[in-house]
Homo-oligomer: A and B are copies of this chain.
Amino acid sequence: MISTKGRYALRMVIDFARQGEEACVPLREVAERQGISVKYLEQLASLLIQADILRSVRGPHGGYVLIRPPEETNVGDILRAAEGSCAPVACLEADFGICPRRSECETFSFWEGLDKVIEAYVDGVTVADLVPAR
């Protein structure tokens, strides 16, 4: 299940996109509009910087800027950055290693299939699709 990390990160990015291309938006404003604390948003923003989705500007009039236009950022990238993974089961995650029951497990391919439809969906939607037209 997607936790507040992924959900808030997505709302934050959409909020940035709404303020216009290349806008430099401080978290204080996002926090107010979205009803999420600045401190929590800071942590999520840092994950999005690591994933090359945002860049930051420090000091007064500083804030965060989307690196790419909304059409070129898909939701899957945001969720994977915030959540670590969108995999529906632990055995599909990168750091899980190879399950010792893998060869005899009748369910593994089922979970792989579920993962595929999830990835296809989240990677098929861009931030631009979620920003309401003005």
Contact = CB atoms under 8 A, between A and B. Distances in A.
A117 B113 CA distance: 12
Interface residues on A, range: 20 to 34
Contacts of A106: 11, 14, 130-132
A7 B114 CA distance: 13
Contact of A14 (B7, B90, B107, B120): B107
A75 B101 CA distance: 20
Interface in A66-117: 75, 87-90, 101, 105-107, 110-111, 113-114, 117
B114 A130 contact: no
Interface of A is mostly: helix
Nearest to A121: B117
A24 interface: no
B75 A110 contact: yes
A118 interface: yes
A2 B86 CA distance: 11
Contact of A1 (B1, B11, B125, B131): B1
Interface of A: 1-2, 7, 10-11, 14, 35, 75, 87-90, 101, 105-107, 110-111, 113-114, 117-118, 120-122, 125, 130-132
